Amino acid sequence: MVDRPEVALDELYREVVLDHHRRPRGRTPLPRVDARAHGLNPVCGDEIHLHLSLDGDRITGVEVQGRGCAICTASGSMMAEVIPGHTEVEATAFAEVFRNVMHGKVVPPDVDMGDLEALEGVKKFPVRVKCALLPWVTLVDALRAWRNGATEGTATTETEEANP
Ligand code: ZN
C-alpha cells in the first residue's frame, strides 16, 4: 500500500478551512473603529463589513462581519488572525502576496502565509478565488480610505479585477 501524503494534506487543509468557517475569528466588535470598508462579491453573494482599529499606522484590531460562503468566511477569519500587529504598509503588502498566490504565483520564501496556505488550492477555481480575495480587497480598501482620511471604503471583487 503506497502512502499518499498529498491526500492527507488535502484533508488537513479542508479541516483548517472548515474550522475557520465554523468558528470564524474576528467577530468580536472592536471597542474603537478607525477604518472601515464594505466589500461585495456579486458573483457568489459574499458580503463583508470590515472594521479596523489602528495605533498610529499599526493595525491593532480586525473585525469581520457579514455573510459569506465557507471560503470567504474562512479567508476573513484567517485575515483577522494574521493581520493585527502589522503596519498598514505590511498588511497591504501581505494582501498583495495573497492575491498573487491566488492568481498562480508562488509564495515568496520570506513570507509565512500561516493558515492561509490552506486556501492555496482555491486558485484552481477562478470563481472561488473571488470569494477568497474579498476580505483582502476590502482590507486594502479600508486602509486606502483611512490613508485618504475618508470615513469608509467600498470594495467589490470587480475592483479587484480592474486593478491587476
Ligand atoms: Zn463566496
Ligand 1 centroid to residue 41 C-alpha, Å:
7
Mean pLDDT of 146-152: 86
Mean pLDDT of 90-102: 96
Ligand 1 centroid to residue 76 C-alpha, Å:
11
Ligand 1 centroid to residue 73 C-alpha, Å:
8
Mean pLDDT of 157-161: 64
Ligand 1 centroid to residue 42 C-alpha, Å:
9
pLDDT, mean over the chain? 90
Which of 105, 37, 32, 106 is CA-nearest to residue 76? 37
pLDDT (tens digit, 9 = 90+) per residue, 10-32?
777 889 999 999 999 999 999 99
d(CA 48, CA 57): 23
Residue 156: pLDDT band (50, 70, 90) is confident
CATH code: domain of residue 36: 3.90.1010.10
Residues with a beta carbon under 5 angstroms from ion ligand 1: 44, 46, 69, 72, 131
Which of 70, 67, 64 is CA-nearest to residue 135? 64
Number of independent structural domains in the chain: 1
What is the domain range of residue 120? 5-160
Cell numbers linked to 104: 498562480
Q: What is the 3-state secondary structure (H, E, C) of 45-57?
A: CEEEEEEEEEECC
Residue 6: pLDDT band (50, 70, 90) is low
